[in-house]
Chain A
Amino acid sequence: MAVVFDRPHALCDCNLHYCPGCTHGIIHRLVAEVIDELGVEGKTVGVAPVGCSVFAYNYFNCDMIEAPHGRAPAVATGVKRACPDDVVFTYQGDGDLAAIGTAETVHAATRGENIVVIFVNNTTYGMTGGQMAPTTLPNQVTQTTPYGRDVNTAGFPIRVCEMLCTLDGVALAQRVAVDTVPHIREAKKAIKKAFQNQIDGKGFSIVEILSTCPTNWGLSPVEALDWLRENMMPYYPLGVYKDSEKGVK
């Protein structure tokens, strides 16, 4: 019987630990498909974050390194400088990338570090049980904003792509989502472009992926996708914020 749909080779044959309805699984698959299609698994090194996707090092079939919280871009810098011909990517959540690791992210970007950053934004610290993240929306209820995020005391969410697109070292800053099939296709195109940028030596590419956290949001998977569309997309508009071929949006 002909196989029409298979697990990408760059994804290990194992059960992922993610909650039902979590979109990390889709994003893992997209990254793995891109690695397969570009034929670079043998020279790819991934850097896993701290957070829900910490076990990414067990899920990707390429060589993997687990970084301290927020430091993935610095670790990836070390790998890329050591092995310039390797393809190096980080896989990070919003707390990891935009709170504790902001300095590492911004400076890897401004150096034009020739790496790929996969940034999964689900507005929450998932692993620790749903606390406020730097991307938590105004008035959003989390474990540590039980009355909703009050911007007067907790400040405003960070729009990472908008912030990074001003930096000369950035080759690609694009925000995508994985809530619908067309968006998933778009997300894969962006990820592929980011990897291709690295192979072509273009510099720092970040793909921000709007993602859901049904467990911590207290919603069903379908409701979570609706919530993403209704609440996240207006605050975090999808699109290409910088493409070195086309300039800043």
Chain B
Amino acid sequence: MSERVLMKGNEALAAAAINAGCHHFFGYPITPQTEVAAYMSKMMPKVGGVYLQAESEVAAINMVLGAAAAGKRAMTSSSSPGISLKSEGVSYIAGSDLPCVIINVQRGGPGLGGIQPSQADYWQATKALGHGDYQLLVFAPSTVQEMVDMVTLAFDKADEYRMPAMILADGMLGQMMEPVTLPEPVKELPKKEWAACGHENKRPHNIVNSLYIEPDELERLVDERYERYAHIQETEQRAECIMTEDADIVVVAFGATARIAMSAVRAARQEGIKAGVIRPITLWPFPNDILKETAKTAKAFLTVEMSKGQMVDDVKLAVECAKPVHFFGRTGGVIPQPNEVLEQIRKIAGGIK
């Protein structure tokens, strides 16, 4: 393990990706993720890797498709408007059963929106990044160290399940500096027998493809993928529970917002309100099990998001509406403040009493 160094989230993410064996990065500048590309352009030549600034986000994700199809760990990063442009390619990548990692350092939307932190791409990431029946693995780090740890995890899981994985960060995590310990570079990567990289006259030709013109065949393939998804939902749910054992009010928040929720919950505890935090770490698969379990003891939930409330429905579904689920959010790049969240907790606590 190397020493703890102070790094910006975006740079730490890039450094971690290289150490995770990603030597193929295809990017396009957009605030607030540009440091990822800048770091990659500086470091890739030093490790014999590829940094390429594409002509568009559309091209960048398709370069990822090509490199991933050739069996390499490949990554692209962008921010919200750029992710919309990548959605076509992500759908094809999912339909071709290719692993890759996509970074979204979210900013406010819709349209050109703003450049300040946001979580308003939750629906896009977890429900509909592109057309067709498919899912992405979605990881939501809340510290710079977690950005680092999750990049490695995302590559491993993407390879394991042969599907795209997304790190859903935001402008705050991308821009802030915190101490991190970088992992050692991986030495061995999984073999990819399916890769289209030249058969060397040793095997039949491999085809990487998402087109299946016969409905029965396409349905069978999508069904197979959904069996994989079901297994992932059973085994890969991740969440952090803080002070939830005795909590009456459980705040559900992910990413940077979870830290703001944490500040509010600490303050609530000082006031004698039994509050806790559940922080979903995987947004897909959504940590349904832990929420359902917590609903047995908690009296109410409060979802806090940097959006108009995109995760709140998933929380309601997870707790099967057994307990009230409240929502508080700010959007457009406005970061909710701990005292605003505390006010909501107080209000709910008043209702409970």
User: Chain A residues in contact with chain B, CB under 8 A?
Assistant: 12, 41-45, 47, 54, 57-58, 60-68, 71, 74-83, 86-87, 103-104, 106-107
Q: In the bound complex, what is the Cα–Cα distance between A79 and B69 (angstroms)?
A: 7
Chain B contact residues, CB within 8 Å of chain A: 24, 26, 50, 52, 54-56, 58-60, 62-72, 74, 88-89, 92, 96, 195-202, 205-211
Contacts A65-B209, A71-B59, A107-B59 given; indicate if A78 touches B69 (C-beta within 8 A): yes
Contact of A63 among B50, B68, B205 (CB under 8 A): B205
Instruction: Give the residues in chain B near A57, CB-CB below 8 Å.
Output: 207, 209
Cα–Cα distance between A60 and B205 once the two chains are bound (Å): 8
Chain B residue contacts of A58, Cβ below 8 A: 207
12 additional A-B residue pairs with CB within 8 Å, beyond A63-B206, A66-B209, A86-B70:
A42-B201, A57-B207, A63-B196, A63-B205, A78-B64, A79-B67, A79-B69, A81-B67, A82-B70, A82-B71, A103-B56, A107-B59
What's the least CB distance linking A126 to chain B, in Å? 16
| Interface contact B62-A75, CB-CB below 8 Å | yes
Bound-state Cα–Cα, A68 to B132, Å: 14
How far, in angstroms, from A12 to B319 measured CA to CA in the complex? 55
Which residues from chain A contact B63 at a C-beta distance below 8 Å?
74-75, 77-78, 81
- The residues of A that contact B55 with a CB separation of less than 8 Å are 103-104, 106-107
Chain B residues closer than 8 Å to A103, beta-carbon distance: 55-56, 58-59
Structural contact, B66 and A65, CB atoms closer than 8 A:
yes
Partner of B24, one of A45, A66, A81: A81
**Is A64 a contact of B59 with CB atoms below 8 Å?**
no
The closest CB in chain B to the CB of A107 belongs to B55
The chain A residue sitting closest to B204, CB to CB, is A61
How many angstroms between the C-alpha atoms of A78 and B195 in the bound complex? 13
The smallest beta-carbon distance between A239 and chain B, in angstroms, is 28
B196 touches A45 (CB 8 A): yes
Offer 29 A-B interface pairs, CB within 8 angstroms, sorted by A: A41-B201, A43-B200, A57-B207, A57-B209, A61-B205, A62-B199, A63-B195, A64-B208, A65-B207, A66-B96, A67-B62, A67-B65, A67-B66, A67-B92, A68-B62, A68-B92, A71-B65, A71-B89, A75-B63, A77-B66, A78-B65, A78-B68, A79-B67, A80-B66, A81-B67, A82-B67, A87-B198, A103-B58, A104-B59
Query: Given the interface contacts A82-B66, A104-B55, does A68 sit within 8 Å of B88 by beta carbon?
Result: yes
Q: A74 CA to B211 CA in the complex, in Å? A: 18
B198 touches A68 (CB 8 A): no
In the complex, the chain B residue whose C-beta lies closest to that of A54 is B211
Establish whether residues B72 and A66, one from each chain, have CB atoms under 8 Å apart when the complex forms. no
Least CB separation from A45: chain B residue: B196
Per the bound structure, the CA–CA distance linking A64 and B201 in Å amounts to 14
Choose among A12, A47, A54, A61 the residue that contacts B66 (Cβ–Cβ < 8 A).
Answer: A47
Most buried by A among B56, B198, B201, B208: B198
Residues of B within 8 A of A81 (CB): 24, 50, 52, 63, 66-67
Check A79 against B200 for contact (C-beta < 8 Å). no
Determine if B197 and A86 form an interchain contact, defined as CB atoms under 8 angstroms apart.
yes
Considering the chains assembled together, what is the distance between the CA atoms of A104 and B66 in angstroms? 13
Select the residue from B60, B63, B195 with max chain A CB neighbours within 10 A: B63
